[in-house]
Structure 1
Amino acid sequence: MQIIIKNKNGEFKAILDDTLVARSFAAQLPIVLNLQDYANAEKYAKLKMPLDISNSPRGSDGKKGELSYFAPWQNFVIYYKDQSYYDGIVRLGEITDEDIAKVAIDGEIKIELVR
């Protein structure tokens, strides 16, 4: 599934994986989130509703440009630097536009499905 992430820098394309957790996220779209920084590696915002992580791996690493869900805190995450393996990280997809610095910023974003 293709999505668009909109922020003050423009519109950016991303692809969600064909997984149960990614479909669970897509069901919440469109959504407006207020991103903030964590550990100088990621931007995150808490989702209002948890995602279905059944059949997901126990954890993952976060690679630059990936979209993930941190299940223990119910956070949507955009990685702008690599993150080593951590229990609770579940990959959602990846940003296809190359300038991650323009996508991964503090502040409001809107995420929509491309129909």
Structure 2
Amino acid sequence: MHIKFTIDGATVEAVLEDNPTARDFASMLPMTAKFEDFHSTEKISYLSRKLSTEGATADYEANVWDITYYVPWGNLAIFYREYRPSRDLIKLGRITTGREALLRSSSFTATIESVEK
């Protein structure tokens, strides 16, 4: 599934994984989410509810521009710098275009919605 983030008129596109947690996230779309910088490594946003982790594989080493779900806190995390492996991350997808819009400010509000491709 393809999704897009709209941030101050800029479009960021991403592709979601085919796993139960990513599908649960997709079921919440469209949504508006507030993101903030965390440790100069990732942009995080707290969701309105926890995502299903049933059948999902945690213990994942995030790559730059991955969209992940941090299970203990129930938040999205989009990595823009390298990060160590974590048993608590589940990969949801990957940013494909428009990455620079995520770095314009330390915090921002984004509309996230699915798109037909």
Tell me if both proteins adopt one fold, taking TM over 0.5 as the criterion.
yes
Residue 39 of structure 1 corresponds to which residue in structure 2?
Answer: 39
Report the TM-score, using the length of structure 2 for normalisation. Answer: 0.91
Residue 102 of structure 1 corresponds to which residue in structure 2?
Answer: 101
Is this contact kept in 1: 2:11–2:101, CA < 8 A? Answer: no
Is this contact kept in 1: 2:21–2:53, CA < 8 A? Answer: yes
Report the TM-score, using the length of structure 1 for normalisation. Answer: 0.92
Residue 115 of structure 2 corresponds to which residue in structure 1?
Answer: 114
- Mapped to 2, the partners of 1:26 and 1:45 lie a distance apart of 15
Q: Match for 1:31: what amino acid?
A: M
- The runs of 5 or more residues in structure 2 that have no matched partner are none
- Mapped to 1, the partners of 2:9 and 2:114 lie a distance apart of 19
- Mapped to 2, the partners of 1:92 and 1:24 lie a distance apart of 10
The answer to whether residue 76 in structure 2 is matched with residue 73 in structure 1 is no
SS at 2:6 equivalent: strand
- The runs of 5 or more residues in structure 1 that have no matched partner are none
Structure 1 residue runs of 4+, over 6 Å off?
Answer: none
Q: How many residues align?
A: 114
Bigger mean CA deviation after superposition, 56-65 or 75-84 = 56-65
- Mapped to 2, the partners of 1:83 and 1:37 lie a distance apart of 14
Q: Match for 1:59: what amino acid?
A: D
Tell me the C-alpha RMSD between the 2 structures. Answer: 1.3
After superposition, the C-alpha distances for 1:20-57 in whole angstroms (9 at most, x for unaligned) are 11000000001111100111100001101111111222
